[in-house]
């Protein structure tokens, strides 16, 4: 079986040696790199060729890539590399990787053109000065071919193993069985829609009720479609760790249903969980290089054995990956990053595909993977994406950066301060928003970035973390500024200042509609399924996410009966901000009455931690005999697990939580683990200047400013929280909506149609 690999992937596999070294060195961003390549090419003579497509074979391996430049008159092949600062400071293993890539391109070019010799040149271009440095060597075609074959021979055994794995994987997935006797109500309809989307390379927006088994209902058909659609990777994305765990559990269930213990033949499906660096790091006090962290020292020397051992495990969740990394003394986080290339299913956070610098998205594009993406609890994506494509900078940080600034940087900071202060003077002390970026400010910030880059490129006795942090934040700000359009706002927020001190502010570019940013991410996937229990109204998510016109939308009927869930609206309670204090006794009375009538486990949801605490204090004061537990502002994952663990079968007690937090979705409490919820808020964002500016922009774009900014996002949280109660067709429970506004027609229209609602 043949196997195709990119030149870069081949060289990273065979030529990387030594330490993992992630010490910060200022380097050009993608746009600067492209500009640098164009500048080099512009200096070349007529007849010079760029972006030369090359490919060649060795045994069953095909290698392909694009060489940067070739001068036919000189028989000179060039590889362009842009940099900033001192070229001598470039690490030797990085230089070796560059030479390896160039020599492979040289071998492929000699074969393509029938050349017997070739001049190879590594051309390093300093973005700051425009100076070129060329490292040159003469090479014969036989020598280049021999080096190429030596590299390929080190890879070909692995490639053969990978091809065999792919064949075994596809054969097994073609016979994959549902791990249950039959589909649940609505689950088959969901599964069929996912399978069609995957095999037809479509985008699917699927609203499916809580409790039908959406995770299995999407993963099972997606995996079944892999052989038919030649899908390389399945990417499962979730906003929260609980969603990722559900996916891992579902994949384990699918594997267990397929595994044949008699033949010792587990499902040949490599599953990888990606977690944030801070959660995976074993030495958080160490820097990521061999002189500081023992797991970075010799990382690439030990990587081949660690990689092979990891892929034998098949199921690489966080704990398993840590065990393998520990056995081979390598960094678990970067081992996981390396294993993405060889995994079949990757489970991670939204940011791995949708962020501006998304790792999975960029790897998929570079390697031309056919990746199908499943987006769990997709109702969270608009808000998360807004944050990904927003940026802010606080003026007070300039004072910190100036302390260690070089003279050129001080001058650049002074120019930036001049532009910044001009913004402060427009409406002093008042938050304001604008539909346009201020003239000159982003350019001044770009000058600061260049000056910081030059300073950081100089050899230094000590790192300056504040300077580096400002550098990265400023880079992000300018990159987001490049995307500024009608879907964004620029705003200025005054900061408190004392006495005669000059006013300071925070500048923000606030994304309102992430559609344009997400459109390319969605289009690059072979197929994409976005699913949730709350994806209505459909037009809202289509507008916010930039879904293609060919997107298929389905709304699956609930398997639950109206008599399973009693929904009550408290018509005489107002939880509006001005009414909250006097609403407390009525809220407490309603909770106590329900609990007395049917003791059991309940969840009470509030709009804020302050309101939660006030309600809990009032309840405990009147009903000290009832067991209660509270969500806290600082609750970590362990605390969240402990909170959920208190909802035991047959238990009695009340959990107090914040709507939209960790317990409003993504937790499964079937049976008597949870028999009711109280929701003392409509969940709408706070009315403030920022949200009002968003409302005005939504009105201008879609004519539904209030609904898009406040009502739809708020009611989505309410429905999600209420969905914790009925999880199976045998559950019975109650939901109390503690606010008179729930009785308004426009609000009730956004509540599930199957609910039978009474008012009291």
CATH of the domain at 646: 3.40.50.300
Residue 162 resides in a domain = no
Q: Could you say which DSSP state residue 260 is in?
A: B
Task: Report the alpha-carbon distance of residue 538 to residue 564 in Å, rounded.
Answer: 27
- What is the per-residue pLDDT for 274? 95
Residue 170 resides in a domain = no
How big is the chain, counted in residues? 760
- What is the per-residue pLDDT for 688? 93
Residue 409 resides in a domain = yes
Residue 656 resides in a domain = yes
- What is the per-residue pLDDT for 468? 87
In a shared domain, residues 538 and 620: no
In a shared domain, residues 503 and 535: no
Task: Report the alpha-carbon distance of residue 399 to residue 396 in Å, rounded.
Answer: 6
In a shared domain, residues 27 and 135: yes
In a 3-state reduction of DSSP, which class is residue 134? strand
In a shared domain, residues 571 and 677: yes
Task: Report the alpha-carbon distance of residue 376 to residue 533 in Å, rounded.
Answer: 10
**What does the block give as tokens for 432?**
């304001």
Task: Report the alpha-carbon distance of residue 507 to residue 470 in Å, rounded.
Answer: 14
In a shared domain, residues 7 and 30: yes
Contacts of 63 (CB under 8 A, 6+ apart): 4, 5, 6, 7, 10, 55, 56, 57, 104, 108, 148, 152
In a shared domain, residues 358 and 338: no
| DSSP assignment of 136-151 | EEEEEHHHHHHHHHHH
Per run of 10 residues, the mean pLDDT along the chain (length 760 residues) is: 82 84 67 84 92 91 92 94 76 84 95 94 87 92 94 87 91 92 92 97 94 92 97 95 90 84 73 91 82 86 92 92 93 93 96 94 90 96 97 92 90 95 91 94 92 76 78 94 94 80 90 96 97 94 96 93 95 92 94 97 97 96 96 92 95 96 88 97 94 95 96 95 91 96 94 91
Nearest residue to 395 (alpha-carbon basis) of 503, 538, 264, 533: 503
- What is the per-residue pLDDT for 286? 80
Task: Report the alpha-carbon distance of residue 741 to residue 637 in Å, rounded.
Answer: 34
Residue 294 resides in a domain = yes
Give kind and range of the element (H or E) at residue 678.
Answer: strand 676-679
Q: Which residue has the tokens 């200042």?
A: 497
- What is the per-residue pLDDT for 498? 63
Q: Total structural domains in the chain?
A: 5
- What is the per-residue pLDDT for 464? 79
Question: Is 306 in contact with 330 (CB distance < 8 Å)?
Answer: yes
- What is the per-residue pLDDT for 463? 67
Question: Number of C-alpha atoms within 13 angstroms, CB side, residue 602?
Answer: 26
Q: Long-range contacts: 247-252, Cβ < 8 Å, 24+?
A: 247/215, 247/219, 247/347, 247/376, 248/273, 248/315, 248/317, 248/347, 249/215, 250/215, 250/216, 250/219, 251/219, 251/315, 251/345, 251/347, 252/315
Residue 163 resides in a domain = no
**What does the block give as tokens for 219?**
């993963």
285-304 as b/e: b if 16+ CB within 10 A: eeebbbeebebbbbbbebbe
Q: Which domain holds residue 504?
A: 390-513
CATH of the domain at 79: 3.90.320.10
Q: Which residue has the tokens 């600082």?
A: 634
Q: How many beta carbons lie within 10 A of that of residue 557, not counting itself?
A: 13
User: How far, CA to CA in Å, does 79 sit from each of 120, 134, 249, 568, 620?
Assistant: 8, 10, 46, 69, 71
> In whole angstroms, what separates CA 695 from the centre of its chain?
26
In a shared domain, residues 243 and 310: no
- What is the per-residue pLDDT for 24? 61
Sign, CA dihedral 511-514-519-524, equals positive
Residue 166 resides in a domain = no
In a shared domain, residues 519 and 509: no
Domain-terminating residue out of 523, 556, 589: 556
**What does the block give as tokens for 88?**
């001598």
Nearest residue to 377 (alpha-carbon basis) of 517, 241, 531: 531
In a shared domain, residues 253 and 127: no
Question: Is 633 in contact with 587 (CB distance < 8 Å)?
Answer: no
Q: How many beta carbons lie within 10 A of that of residue 98, not counting itself?
A: 17
Helix axes 92-113, 7-15, angle to 10 degrees: 130
Strands 117-126 and 132-140: antiparallel
In a 3-state reduction of DSSP, which class is residue 234? strand
- What is the per-residue pLDDT for 158? 84
Question: What's the pTM value of the predicted model, to 2 decimals?
Answer: 0.89
- What is the per-residue pLDDT for 21? 76
Give kind and range of the element (H or E) at residue 374.
Answer: strand 371-375
Q: Could you say which DSSP state residue 752 is in?
A: -
- What is the per-residue pLDDT for 148? 94
In a shared domain, residues 290 and 217: no
Task: Report the alpha-carbon distance of residue 371 to residue 376 in Å, rounded.
Answer: 16
Question: Number of C-alpha atoms within 13 angstroms, CB side, residue 654?
Answer: 26
**What does the block give as tokens for 728?**
């199976």
In a shared domain, residues 421 and 542: no
In a shared domain, residues 721 and 602: yes
Q: For the chain, give the longest Cα–Cα distance.
A: 92
- Phi/psi region, residue 546 (left: phi>0; alpha: psi -120 to 50; beta: rest), is left
Task: Report the alpha-carbon distance of residue 604 to residue 620 in Å, rounded.
Answer: 13
Residue 135 resides in a domain = yes
3-state SS of 466-521?
HHHHHHHHHHHHHHHHHCCCCCEEEEEEEECCCCCCCCEEEEEEEECCCHHHHHHH
Nearest residue to 640 (alpha-carbon basis) of 349, 242, 215: 242
């Amino acid at each position: 079986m043949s196997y195709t690999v990119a030149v870069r992937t081949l060289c990273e596999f065979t030529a990387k040696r030594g330490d993992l070294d992630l010490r910060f060195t200022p380097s050009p961003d993608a746009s600067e790199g492209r500009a640098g390549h164009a500048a080099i090419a512009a200096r070349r003579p007529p007849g010079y060729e760029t972006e030369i497509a090359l490919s060649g074979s060795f045994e069953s391996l095909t290698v392909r890539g694009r060489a940067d430049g070739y001068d036919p008159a000189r028989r000179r092949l060039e590889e362009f590399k842009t940099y900033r600062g001192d070229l001598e400071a470039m690490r030797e293993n990085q230089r070796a990787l560059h030479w390896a890539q160039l020599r492979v391109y040289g071998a492929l070019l000699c074969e393509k053109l029938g050349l017997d010799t070739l001049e190879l040149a590594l051309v390093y271009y300093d973005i700051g000065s425009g100076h070129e440095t060329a490292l040159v060597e003469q090479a014969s075609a036989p020598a280049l071919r021999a080096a190429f074959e030596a590299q390929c021979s080190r890879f070909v055994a692995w490639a053969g193993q990978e091809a065999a794995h792919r064949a075994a994987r596809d054969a097994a997935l073609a016979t994959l069985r549902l791990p249950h006797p039959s589909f649940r109500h609505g689950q088959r309809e969901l599964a069929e829609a996912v399978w069609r989307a995957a095999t037809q390379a479509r985008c699917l927006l699927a609203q499916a009720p809580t409790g039908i088994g959406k995770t299995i209902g999407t993963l099972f058909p997606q995996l079944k479609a892999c052989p038919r659609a030649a899908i390389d990777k399945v990417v499962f994305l979730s906003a929260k760790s609980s969603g990722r765990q559900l996916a891992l559990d579902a994949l384990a269930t699918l594997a267990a249903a397929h595994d044949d213990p008699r033949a010792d033949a587990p499902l040949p499906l490599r599953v990888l969980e990606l977690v944030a660096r801070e959660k995976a790091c074993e030495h958080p006090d160490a820097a990521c290089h061999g002189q500081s962290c023992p797991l970075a020292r010799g990382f690439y020397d030990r990587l081949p054995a660690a990689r092979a051992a990891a892929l034998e495990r098949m199921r690489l969740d966080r704990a398993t990956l840590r065990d393998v990394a520990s056995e081979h003394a390598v960094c678990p986080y970067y081992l996981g990053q390396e294993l993405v290339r060889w995994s079949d299913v990757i489970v991670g956070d939204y940011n791995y595909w949708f962020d501006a610098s998304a790792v999975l998205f960029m790897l998929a594009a570079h390697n031309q993977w056919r990746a199908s993406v499943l987006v769990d609890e997709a109702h969270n994506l608009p808000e998360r994406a807004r944050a990904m494509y927003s940026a802010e900078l606080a003026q007070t940080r300039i004072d910190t950066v100036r302390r260690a600034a070089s003279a050129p940087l001080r001058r650049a900071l002074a120019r930036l301060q001049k532009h910044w202060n001009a913004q402060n003077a427009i409406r002093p002390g008042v938050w304001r928003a604008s539909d346009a970026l201020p003239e000159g400010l982003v350019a001044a910030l770009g000058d600061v970035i260049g000056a910081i880059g030059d300073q950081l490129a100089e050899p230094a006795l000590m790192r300056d973390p504040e300077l580096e942090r400002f550098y990265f934040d400023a880079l992000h700000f300018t990159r987001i500024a490049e995307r500024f359009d009608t879907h964004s706002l620029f705003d200025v927020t005054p900061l408190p200042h004392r006495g005669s001190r000059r006013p300071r502010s925070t500048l923000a570019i606030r994304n309102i509609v992430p559609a344009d940013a997400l459109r390319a991410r969605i289009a690059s996937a072979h197929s994409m399924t976005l699913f949730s229990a709350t994806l209505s109204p459909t037009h809202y998510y289509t507008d916010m996410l930039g879904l293609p016109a060919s997107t298929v939308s389905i709304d699956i009927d609930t398997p639950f009966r109206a008599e399973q869930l009693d929904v009550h609206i408290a018509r005489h309670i107002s939880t509006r901000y001005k009414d909250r204090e006097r609403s407390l006794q009525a809220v407490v009375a309603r909770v106590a009455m329900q609990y007395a009538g049917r003791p059991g486990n309940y969840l009470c949801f509030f709009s804020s931690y302050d309101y939660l605490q006030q309600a809990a204090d009032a309840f405990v004061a009147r009903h000290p005999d009832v067991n209660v537990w509270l969500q806290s502002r600082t609750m970590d994952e362990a605390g969240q697990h402990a909170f959920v663990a208190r909802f035991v079968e047959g238990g009695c007690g009340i959990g107090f939580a914040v709507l939209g937090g960790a317990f409003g979705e993504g937790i499964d409490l079937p049976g008597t683990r949870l028999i009711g919820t109280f929701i003392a808020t409509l969940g709408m964002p706070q009315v403030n200047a920022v949200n009002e500016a968003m409302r005005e922009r939504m009105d201008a774009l879609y004519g539904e400013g209030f609904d898009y900014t406040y009502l739809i996002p708020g009611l989505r949280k309410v429905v999600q929280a209420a969905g914790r109660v009925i999880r199976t067709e045998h559950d019975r429970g109650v939901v109390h909506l503690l606010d008179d506004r729930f009785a308004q027609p426009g609000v009730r229209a956004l509540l599930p149609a199957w609910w039978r609602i009474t008012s009291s």
